[in-house]
Amino acid sequence: MQNSLWLAGVEKLSLNKLSTSLNCDVCVVGGGLTGIYTAYLLAKKGLNVVLLEGNSSVGIATTGHSTGKLTPQHDAIFAKLIKTFSEEEARTYYDANVNAINNALQNISIDVSQKVDSYLYATTEQGKKQLDEEIEAYKRLKLPGNETTETELPFDVLSSIKLSNTSQIHPTNFALHYAKLAIKEGANIYVNSRVTKVVIDEKTVYVDDELEVSYNNLVLATHYPIEAVKGLQIAKLSIERSYLTATRTTELLKGQYLSVDTPSRTIRTALINNQPYFIYGGSSHKAGTIEETHSYYETLQNEVVSKFDLPEPEFLWSAQDPDTADSIPYVGPITDNESNVYIATGYRKWGLSNSLVAGEIISSAITKEKHAASDIYNPSRNQFGITMLRMLNLIGFTVANLADGYLTRMDAPKCTHLGCRTRWNDGDETWDCPCHGSRFDKNGNVIEGPAVYPLDLKS
């Protein structure tokens, strides 16, 4: 059963459930960091903002299951970006993330964030080759990282790229901090208020099928958009699950680490109530495709003990991440024709800094200001070749899983999104849908969309 370190002992905000229909300038759906930060920025600009969260608290779902790394070093992304985007655009991606992080940290105390260096490292020849390409991209883009083999890790690395003076955060406390600031600026945040229908033509969303919230602008900040058909995101987003553990340790690291080897591993430490914790994770697979996920946790648990000489982890949790074909998230109007409906998705495991970028891009667009990165994040950007290939692959994957579910898992409940058969996930004790990543707890309640209705466990 999932047990995220970030949710242990966290002091949730006392927030109400929506009890009456409302009108607002901006309706934000989703109370993760993207929704909260967007609400904060817009409320600060004087707009009437309503944020609706389906869970019992904000900042606990996707945000509360992340690694808490707040860095512009997003895996070996820059070598990839310069193959698809211009060097200027790739540099814009880096700058947008650095600026958004710096802007957000101005309002944050030391309790919620720490300065550390970020490292990408390789222990295999194949990984080293990848880092060589990434170093070359850093040079071309004039990024500040440097190559080193000196790390704090208890094993040798063949190569690493160090990016100094980046940050790590307690992601839930960071999100709660911004939720408090958003409320102070006048935003209205409601929990236990699940949006079950979006009627774009009527500029209205329905909460629990009953209450109406009418808006001028709508921000779908639900990780995977609950309306993903209009802009064809349903056929463009691929979803990966990955795993994390935390165990007690005696000292804090000065760096946070990510291997580019296969399988990848992520490492950082965190101080929770004066107790240092070692966070170790990695391994990923397509969401909803594996039943015996306990084996992923077991592998990580064994490595923590054998490679790092630490006690077996007491916290185990997993995360799910949609990604785009060209590695840059989709942030902006859902289509060119629906310029008042915004999405933010496809963060590819780098949701914390990209949430902050998304908040800046969307809040700028709503107040008619141009953000420097809005074009490269535009969900309707034209990456015809790779996006088309991705769409063909995903459509094939979805059709295969739909058919496979009906042939081999007739007893598994039907997903309430578009009807694929779910699959039991034994490590997290959830029902996961392989088609577009919806997740449900063992009682059928929605954990993660695009589904908005609970499972009928007898379906």
Residues forming contacts to ligand FES in the complex (CB under 6 A) are 415, 417-420, 433, 435-438, 450-451
Nearer to ligand FES, 130 or 320 (CB): 320
Strand, coil or helix: 4: coil
Measured from the CB of residue 416, what is the shortest distance to ligand FES in angstroms?
8
Q: How far apart are CA 19 and CA 42, in angstroms?
A: 23
Q: 259: which strand partners?
A: 121
Nearer to ligand FES, 145 or 437 (CB): 437
The pair of structure tokens assigned to 79 is 């070598």
What is the sign of the dihedral through the CA atoms of 244, 250, 255 and 260? Answer: negative
Nearer to ligand FES, 134 or 432 (CB): 432
Measured from the CB of residue 386, what is the shortest distance to ligand FES in angstroms?
23
Measured from the CB of residue 419, what is the shortest distance to ligand FES in angstroms?
6
Q: How far apart are CA 212 and CA 356, in angstroms?
A: 28
Measured from the CB of residue 94, what is the shortest distance to ligand FES in angstroms?
33
Nearer to ligand FES, 278 or 431 (CB): 431
Nearer to ligand FES, 221 or 316 (CB): 221
CB 286 within 8 Å of CB 437:
no
The C-alpha angle with vertex 354 and arms to 73 and 25, in degrees rounded to 5, equals: 165
Per-residue CA distances from 317 to 71, 131, 347, 424 (Å) = 21, 28, 19, 16
The pair of structure tokens assigned to 220 is 């779908």
- Given phi > 0 = left and psi -120 to 50 = alpha, else beta, which region is 368? left
Nearer to ligand FES, 236 or 417 (CB): 417
Q: How far apart are CA 401 and CA 175, in angstroms?
A: 35
CB 312 within 8 Å of CB 305:
yes
Measured from the CB of residue 417, what is the shortest distance to ligand FES in angstroms?
3
Measured from the CB of residue 192, what is the shortest distance to ligand FES in angstroms?
22
Q: Which residues of 45-65 are buried (b: 16+ CB within 10 A; e: fewer)?
A: bebbbbbbbbbebbbbbbbbb
Nearer to ligand FES, 73 or 422 (CB): 422
By C-alpha distance, which of 320, 361, 337 is closest to 450?
Answer: 320
Nearer to ligand FES, 6 or 440 (CB): 440
Measured from the CB of residue 232, what is the shortest distance to ligand FES in angstroms?
14
Measured from the CB of residue 321, what is the shortest distance to ligand FES in angstroms?
15
Nearer to ligand FES, 61 or 79 (CB): 61
Residues sharing a CB contact under 8 Å with residue 84, sequence separation 6 or more, in sequence order: 326, 327, 383, 386
Q: 126: which strand partners?
A: none
Q: How far apart are CA 166 and CA 117, in angstroms?
A: 5
Nearer to ligand FES, 31 or 405 (CB): 405
Nearer to ligand FES, 301 or 438 (CB): 438
Q: How many CB atoms lie within 10 A of CB 406?
A: 14
Measured from the CB of residue 162, what is the shortest distance to ligand FES in angstroms?
39
Q: Where are the beta strands (DSSP E) in 273-415?
A: 275-286, 315-323, 330-333, 341-345
The pair of structure tokens assigned to 359 is 């908040």
CB 206 within 8 Å of CB 196:
yes
Q: How far apart are CA 288 and CA 318, in angstroms?
A: 12
Residue owning tokens 């591993």 = 265
Measured from the CB of residue 414, what is the shortest distance to ligand FES in angstroms?
8
Measured from the CB of residue 78, what is the shortest distance to ligand FES in angstroms?
32
